[in-house]
Chain A
């Protein structure tokens, strides 16, 4: 018995970190599915209805949600999953456009604030205040104004995504630009470096880990912004509309709503995944190479 456990942990340790991570994620997903189905099974066999009624409308089987994806949206229509994938592309376009614009604005504000205390004092309160206004209250206004100046609908939605994106990026950029060691700044001073050299050679590289943390938060926020923005825009093509339609038809087609939620989650995960890939590329990670570290220590002792 103990032998078996030891062998198992041994094998687990032998797997690559990547495989271990993937297996853990799969484990979490499976556990959640299992919990959902167990709840359904136990509650319905005992006749319990609280906190949630375990019937097939409120809590459809997980496999039914997945099967629903491969049924036509309506009689003679496309498969639901195809419809949702097309919608995902629309929503992603709004989110990505808003994310890029919002990210650039956020970065620009961070740079402005680190350069000028005056600008920080003048504008920061408004930047913070902008985030205390509920997005749902602003979205219709943006859409109306966007229409008035002839902006395509998807761009108006992108503006809402940008609105949610810029804030975390601005705050974290500012923090990151202020993160270098004071001695590093003094060295720059001793080289008589001009401000732009200090910014690009020292401050921005130091800020990258902070900025990418913000971008990961913003990636999900941009998707939320796009979904929410689609509603008052009356935008027919995106995932937001699908969510709205299927939630109105919940009593008869709850499986469609759940299936859509799964696709929305997948879109969010995909977006964050892309940002994480970019982070791996641009932010060098300290690998802790124990064996080589020891080797170097020996080499230095010898030399």
Chain B
């Protein structure tokens, strides 16, 4: 069964002369265990597409099913873990309590889950710290642990490393790949960084703006596990170039 199946999905904000068409005729399928990046210039609707998948907003046309059911049903079934660019941790809760928040809300009794997730993101020593005592990268790792603590089948990440410095960013990419490998979750990842998309993804969905459309889908085909060596390999460079050219072709058209 497909994790994501979008047929002719469109999204228009507002009505009448004020309306803005954010997405038009999106056809996309995502299989279990894939790591999909959505990339494109600002205004291409990549975040909107992610939000449609996560049922944070509804499509205005087309059909969208998640794990074979409507997105709203998938949300009620708690199929989604979401990570935003901002960690949005709750200041008054310790790191561990933050990670336990989804479990509390879902009435899941699992005292070990938070500890496991914090070990997974290598923050086992910081359970009793408060968010504001952590660096930006560490906060984002807590956000990832929180998103995974209830074993969602689909992890949605909206430019999660956009606010981090380059060094931390590369570290976090490595971490995310390891976590993806260990948890076998399907990931949809929004980014505007070409190297990041190539390094992380199994497939890259290239989008073009006004209205947002899918212009190319590129298989990366790089071997796993990926590490620093991968970043220096010729195949990696070739893919980076391929994505860059796909993005540049749009400018020619637009």
Contacts and interface: CB of A to CB of B under 8 A. Distances in A.
A76 B90 CA distance: 62
Nearest to B101: A201
Interface string B124-157: 0110011011110110000000000010000000
Given A190-B56, A191-B102, A205-B92, A292 B133 contact: yes
Interface residues of A, number: 25
A292 B101 CA distance: 26
Interface residues of B, number: 32
Interface in B39-92: 54-56, 75-76, 78, 80-82, 84, 86, 88, 90-92
Contacts of A184: 88, 90
Contacts of A202: 90
A191 B78 contact: yes
A37 B91 CA distance: 49
A181 B89 CA distance: 10
Contacts of A186: 56, 82, 84
B112 interface: no
Contacts, number: 66
A48 B216 CA distance: 90
Given A183-B86, A205-B90, A284-B91, A300 B134 contact: yes
Interface in A160-214: 181, 183-184, 186-193, 197, 201-202, 205
A180 B85 CA distance: 16
Contacts of A190: 54-56, 75, 78, 80-82
A201 B104 contact: yes
21 contacts: A181-B86, A183-B86, A187-B82, A188-B105, A190-B54, A190-B78, A191-B101, A191-B102, A191-B105, A192-B78, A192-B106, A197-B104, A197-B105, A205-B92, A284-B91, A284-B92, A293-B133, A296-B126, A296-B138, A299-B125, A300-B138
Interface of B: 54-56, 75-76, 78, 80-82, 84, 86, 88, 90-92, 101-102, 104-106, 122, 125-126, 129-130, 132-135, 137-138, 150
